[in-house]
Amino acid sequence: MAMQSIPDPGKPVLRSGIAVALIIASPALGAAQPVVPPLGPSTGLEPIPNGDLVAGLEGWGQVGPTMTLVGGPIIEAGDNTTVVGPAFTVPDMAQLLPIVIGVPGGYALVDVRARPVEGGADIPLATIVPSRAVRTWNVGIGAVRGRTVRIVLDPVSILGRRLYVRGMGPPVEVLPGWVVVRGMPVVVSRWGKRGLDVADTRMVARTAPFTPSPRTRVVSISVRGAGRVTAALRGRSVRASATTGSWTTLRFPVRRGARGLTISFTATPAPGQRLMVAGIGAPAPRRSPTAAR
């Protein structure tokens, strides 16, 4: 089954606790990326065993009255039935998980959780609002990277809605070499820049290591939209509010010959709004339209 490698953000609402991002200078200087951490290309990782339903319902489970496999193949789960996907180990590089679902008739939420195989409470990943048509929705999965889990799809509706599931996976590394702690990375081009679109919930991430050019003395991170960004480089933290009409630039001085730098940031959109983070690690312009203190 063909899966999207560039995410369609849909309407995810990720539920996660507040996380504080830290900045480090990577000791592995040989692994540093030149100049600016690249945004992509996305890479598909190891598939989920029978995540495409080719082997029928092998590895899948249910909590509730009915779950059948119909032509497609596609899972048709009855009212008030929770679908539990096959067990798999989330790759350390995984940042996003595509899930192909739909809700006949609409008007239902689907809670997406990760259920650790070793036991313990489910880990909330997202709450999405599927459309009637079966299509791909993407969920941030960085919170459970390295763990063996089963993905739980739980329809939430006072009327009890059916659920169609076409498959899930493979996990995707959207930002190679980056660490995404919380949120779903979505790469977009807007307002003349290419960057990350952050909507509905905060994103906490750390860039791949990079090395500024020898003549660079200040690197930056720019934000635009509605919300706040806190960024850090080598122990220095800067915070700024985004504005809808112009770019706000956070600036960090770098010493001559600096190598293997990483920038960490927490981007928090205003409720119901979105913001864009761009130019991460780029040389700062001589004069910024709006420079954060």
The alpha helices in the chain, defined as continuous H runs, are none
Distance (Å, rounded) from C-alpha 42 to C-alpha 218? 28
Question: Residues 84, 205: one domain?
Answer: no
Domain count, the chain: 2
Domain boundary among 153, 173, 193: 173
At residue 113, what are phi and psi to the nearest 5 degrees? -130, 160
Residues 185-200: tens digit of each pLDDT: 999 999 889 999 998 7
Question: Residues 193, 272: one domain?
Answer: yes
Residues in the chain predicted with pLDDT less than 70, given as ranges, are 1-35, 106, 158-160, 286-293
Question: Residues 106, 223: one domain?
Answer: no
Question: Residues 226, 161: one domain?
Answer: no
pLDDT at 23: 29
The boundaries of the domain holding residue 76 are: 43-173
Distance (Å, rounded) from C-alpha 274 to C-alpha 276? 7
pLDDT at 17: 33
pLDDT at 46: 95
pLDDT at 160: 60
Question: Residues 36, 180: one domain?
Answer: yes
Question: Residues 169, 157: one domain?
Answer: yes
pLDDT at 14: 34
pLDDT at 33: 47
Q: How far is CA 130 from the centre of its chain?
A: 18
Domain boundary among 137, 157, 173: 173
Question: Residues 37, 61: one domain?
Answer: no
Question: Residues 246, 163: one domain?
Answer: no
Cα–Cα distances (Å) from 207 to 59, 107, 182, 260, 282, in that order, read 35, 38, 13, 11, 12
With beta carbons less than 8 A apart as the criterion, state whether 95 and 175 touch.
Answer: yes
Q: What is the pTM of this model?
A: 0.77
Q: Count CA atoms within 13 Å of residue 287 on its CB side.
A: 1
Domain boundary among 154, 173, 192: 173
pLDDT at 35: 67
The position carrying tokens 């798999």 is 88
Distance (Å, rounded) from C-alpha 43 to C-alpha 197? 18
Residue 156, domain member (yes or no): yes
155-177: b (≥16 Cβ within 10 Å) or e: bebeeebbbbbbbbbbbbbbbbb
pLDDT at 161: 75
Distance (Å, rounded) from C-alpha 232 to C-alpha 151? 33
Residues 156-215: tens digit of each pLDDT: 875 567 899 999 999 999 999 999 988 889 999 998 899 999 987 889 999 999 999 888
